[in-house]
Amino acid sequence: MKRLLNNCRFLLAIRLVLGGVFVYAGAVKIAAPQVFADSIATYQFAPAALINLIALSLPPLEVLMGLVLLSGFKKRAANFSILLLMSMFLIFLAQALLRGLNVDCGCFGGGEPSKWKPWISLGRDILIWIAAFALYRDAIIPPESRD
Amino acid sequence: MTAKNPHSLLKGIGNDFVVFWIMATGAVCIGLLVNQFRDQPLALTYQTKAERMSETVERMGAQAPTAAEVATKSDHLSLQELRIFVESKQGVVLDARPNVFFRLGHIPGALSLPRNDFENGYAVLRKVLEVDKNQAIVVYCSEDDCDDSELAAQALRRLGYTNVRLFKGGWAAWVDKDLPQEMAL
């Protein structure tokens, strides 16, 4: 596993896949902001005054971050941004699951609030978080400094 | 920058955060700007699906609901009852899912009345529905957890329909039993 996470080609593949996933996820939501706002509302963490602002802003941010990640420009900052955003997604999803809410992940456009689907989303988000962490770790810790 | 120098590491993370902040600010501006060019810009304050539906129905001429009407839940049909209802054509079956899902597949004979575009959907079905406001109507959406069918059923009752019921299992339960389907591509 350690060798894999130090492999440049593997990390490049992760970067391209993550970048593509973020561009796609953002583009789908830009097309249907009301549906995404309804998804955000199911998490019951943001006041009504902020839900639509988040629904309008988060998708362009995902597209922007995905494009930066794909282009390789400001790679380290893009890796950090993805890691930060994934950490926030995980916290919001986990709090909703712990509270027993029926949430619609809204990760790739709208769905229906559900009891079991968010657990799949949580698993997927954990995988993406690990990938983002591996990329950021690679950016801040040079290979020769790793244990 | 290396992990051996915690000070420069923290400084680097700080710089990364600044770049994130700049991108986030840019995204807010882009999001608000793009919204201005939409056919139907999103309002800045969120309204729940129920609030939006209520506004739509009032725009269509219904009175504001009483507390009792709000609290009233629709009667349900079982899958077996719905099968008989569909096969013997006892009334109208309405699909409250977004129209794109209706086109991909729906219960045979069902008509599309999407919750998310109720006003336009109703205008298309007006002639069929307003023939008899006491006719039997069954509404369904995607699955157990969806609320589109309940919202559409409440809206129909507020528009004067007296015999509206729900099929809670929705499209998922129908497909699960491998029952006949229709497409409208």
Q: Does residue B4 sit in the same domain as residue B71?
A: no
Q: Does residue B63 sit in the same domain as residue B26?
A: no
Chain A nearest CA to B90, separation (Å): 29
pLDDT per residue as tens digits for the range B129-160? 999 999 999 999 988 878 899 999 999 999 99
pLDDT per residue as tens digits for the range B20-44? 999 999 999 999 999 999 988 999 8
Per the CB < 8 Å rule, is B27 touching A140? no
Q: Does residue B86 sit in the same domain as residue B105?
A: yes
pLDDT of the residue at B1: 46
Average pLDDT over residues B85-97: 94
The pLDDT-based confidence of A100 (bands split at 50, 70, 90) is confident
Average pLDDT over residues A25-46: 92
Within a domain: B11: yes
Chain A nearest CA to B131, separation (Å): 33
pLDDT per residue as tens digits for the range A80-94? 999 999 999 999 999
Residue with more model confidence, B59 or A147: B59
The pLDDT-based confidence of A114 (bands split at 50, 70, 90) is low
Query: Does B42 reach chain A within 8 Å, measured CB to CB?
Result: yes
Average pLDDT over residues A110-137: 83
Q: Does residue B135 sit in the same domain as residue B92?
A: yes
pLDDT of the residue at B24: 95
Average pLDDT over residues B66-76: 70
Find the domain containing B93 and state its range: 49-176
CATH number of the domain that B69 lies in? 3.40.250.10
pLDDT of the residue at B67: 64
Within a domain: B20: yes
Q: Under an 8 Å CB criterion, which residues of A touch B?
A: 30, 33-35, 37-38, 41, 48-49, 51-53, 55-61, 64-65, 68, 74, 76-78, 80-81, 84, 102, 112-115, 140-142, 145
Is the model's pLDDT at B99 over the cut of 60? yes
Alpha-helical segments (H) within chain B: 6-36, 49-59, 67-71, 79-87, 99-104, 118-130, 148-158, 170-176
pLDDT above 90 coverage of chain A, percent: 56
DSSP symbols for A111-146: ---BSSHHHHHHHHHHHHHHHHHHHHHHHHS-GGG-
Total tally of structural domains belonging to chain B? 2
Residues 6 or more apart whose Cβ sits within 8 Å of residue B120: none
Q: Does residue B35 sit in the same domain as residue B79?
A: no
Specify the pTM.
0.81
pLDDT per residue as tens digits for the range B106-137? 999 999 999 989 999 999 999 999 999 999 99
Per the CB < 8 Å rule, is B24 touching A61? yes
Q: Does residue B110 sit in the same domain as residue B136?
A: yes
The whole-angstrom separation of Cα B20 and Cα A107 is: 20
Q: Does residue B39 sit in the same domain as residue B53?
A: no
Q: Give the closest of B32, B141, B145 to A115, CB-based.
A: B145
**Chain A: residue whose CA lies nearest to B3:** A141
Within a domain: B68: yes
